[in-house]
Amino acid sequence: MLRYVRHGVKRVYAAIALLSIEIIVLLGVFSLALLAFIGIAKMIFKEKKEDFDLHAFNFLASHVSDINTDVMQVFTFLGTHTFLIPANLMLVAYFLFIKKHRWYSIKVPVVALSSLLLMFCLKLIFHRDRPLTPLLEAAQGYSFPSGHATMSITFYGLIIFLVWQNEKKAWVKWILTIALVLLINFIGVSRVYLRVHYASDVLAGFCVGLMWLFLSLWILRKIETFSRKKVDPVVQQAPAA
């Protein structure tokens, strides 16, 4: 009897330890991203410092060429709503009809739509104009934070999360993670290269996307857990009743 009690206590301690690590990591990443966003906003809007943005423009200007411009246009396309809307719909369809995972099919549109709404609200709040000398065509809307950066973090970051949740092979997880992280960064660089965003816009967009992705996944996980504990048993017992 005592052995079973000790075993039960150890399992409880292990569960608490894992939960604590998860919460610590979540709070740590969220806090760092929030502090970075506040620091960037303070530097741009309160202190009026633009040295960082000017250095980024000057550095990338020295690498402008026809080939690089074509490549950057491809990367920037992968962060546009023209690409991401169909990509999100395909991901929803995959989990809804092929993988048949209801909660994943819910998470994808919730994260996408909520992050899009948050991005538009922040743009209206900060009201920053776009760079005056775009490399090709001028972009529409306000500049801070970068929508491409925010949406690329939430969409491709969500894919990274799903890969780690579903893929069993460690080498596949790491290859896909590294590839997607590089893709996210190149999307951000492309916006500065094309001079439609300041580098500070992109970094702020990364911070917003990271914060919202972590927060959304945490909230959705809590809702999913509650649903499985409270709602699913009731639904399953209804036919028998």
Looking at residues 18-22, what average pLDDT do you find? 60
The SS3 of residue 131 is coil
Lowest mean pLDDT among 38-42, 138-142, 148-152: 138-142
What's the pLDDT score for residue 101?
74
Contact criterion met (CB below 8 Å) for 142 and 127: yes
What's the pLDDT score for residue 74?
95
Q: What is the mean pLDDT of the chain?
A: 83
C-alpha 36/C-alpha 204 separation (Å) is 8
Higher per-residue pLDDT: 133 or 8: 133
State both tokens at 50: 């633009």
Higher per-residue pLDDT: 74 or 2: 74
Lowest mean pLDDT among 32-41, 177-186, 219-228: 219-228
Residue-wise pLDDT tens digits, 194-211:
999 999 999 999 999 999
Q: What separation in angstroms does the CA of 151 have from each of 13, 64, 113, 230?
A: 38, 25, 10, 33
State both tokens at 148: 């491409």
State yes or no: pLDDT of 181 exceeds 50: yes
What's the pLDDT score for residue 48?
85
Q: Which residue has the tokens 């997607």?
A: 180
Higher per-residue pLDDT: 15 or 84: 84
Note the pTM of the prediction, 2 decimals. Answer: 0.81
What's the pLDDT score for residue 20?
61
Residue-wise pLDDT tens digits, 157-171:
989 988 888 878 889
State both tokens at 51: 């040295």
C-alpha 84/C-alpha 114 separation (Å) is 14
Contact criterion met (CB below 8 Å) for 69 and 135: yes
What's the pLDDT score for residue 5?
47
Q: Which residue has the tokens 């001079």?
A: 195
How many CB atoms neighbour CB 237 within 10 A? Answer: 9
Residue-wise pLDDT tens digits, 48-87:
888 899 999 999 999 999 999 999 999 999 998 889 889 8
Contact criterion met (CB below 8 Å) for 153 and 184: yes
Kindly tell me the burial class for residue 6, based on how many C-beta atoms sit within 10 Å of its own C-beta (0-12, 13-18, 19 or more).
exposed
Backbone region of residue 74 per phi and psi (left: phi > 0; alpha: psi in -120 to 50; beta: other values): alpha
The SS3 of residue 137 is coil
Q: What is the DSSP letter of 46?
A: I
